[in-house]
Amino acid sequence: MEPMSDSDHPIPEFLPVAEIAIDAVVPSPSGFLLEGAGADGAQYRLEMHLDLPVDRRTRQVLGELLSQSEWRVLRRTVGSPLANLRRERARARQAARRADGT
């Protein structure tokens, strides 16, 4: 899986938790169950619930679109801005090391 562009990282107060390439999409009565592998090698399962009814054709099209998707999960940072910056830089260094294979 190729990492998502950093330019897609919307707001500095949020840090990436996982980047997930969707491998399987299973319709459920209220939405979809998405499964995929993360950039960290872990397997992820996302549950997507829809608050409105969707007809069979729309559900099929949504399933096809979702099966070709990648998801980035972000979380709001907690703590001081300086601590958050240090944490983000440490994660970037770790990611660079993993990419270099060291």
pLDDT at 88 over 90: no
For residue 57, the surrounding DSSP H or E stretch is helix 56-67
User: Minimal CA–CA distance to 19: which of 94, 67, 71, 66?
Assistant: 71
Which pTM value belongs to this model?
A: 0.63
For residue 38, is pLDDT > 70? yes
Residue 27 one-letter amino acid: P
- For residue 52, what pLDDT band results from cuts at 50, 70 and 90? very high
Asked if pLDDT for residue 46 goes beyond 60, the answer is: yes
**What is the reported pLDDT for 69?**
94
Task: Please report, rounded to a whole number, the percentage of residues in the chain having pLDDT higher than 90.
Answer: 52
Distance from C-alpha of 69 to C-alpha of 16, rounded to nearest angstrom: 17
